Amino acid sequence: MKPSDFLAPDLIRLNLQSSTKEEVLKELVWMLDVREEYRPILLDMVLQREALGSTGLGEGVAIPHGRSLIVNHLHLVCGISKKGIYFQAIDRKKVHLFFLVIAPHREVSNQYLPLLGSIAKLASDPENIERLRNAETPEQCLEILEQICS
């Protein structure tokens, strides 16, 4: 599973406006292609997941994620913060690159964990992170993800 398999230009935001962990999670959840009334429920679920431990991997990357009964397929959005956000990442540095993954509670297609692994793998290379941070358009971001994860 590659991130580019689940993303489209409208699911990528190159200039997140948030300045706190809670704000960025809300901004990401509101990017999801789900019914408006589901968004507060999904935000609460993501915040609860974060309370268990930060999904900030370090090196400027976070993968907030969770499973929910209110979605029927896997959702992924990507956001880039130029200024960075303190996200309680493992290395205590600001996070610039966010991938929010929401999967169905019972997912028979087995895409959730492989997708998380794929994102974590690309995030392990600082050069990949820098290339994504410097993308000038959502389309360019998708192209970079396709190259990195091919």
Q: Which residues are catalytic?
A: 65
Half-sphere exposure of 55 (CA within 13 A, CB side): 24
Distance CA 56, CA 142 (A): 22
Helix (H) or strand (E) holding 21: helix 21-31
Please tell me what DSSP assigns to residue 5: G
Counting DSSP H helices and E strands in the chain, the numbers are: 5, 6
Which is it for the CA torsion 29, 31, 36, 38, positive or negative? Answer: negative
**Helix (H/G/I), strand (E/B), else coil: 96:** strand
**Helix (H/G/I), strand (E/B), else coil: 93:** coil
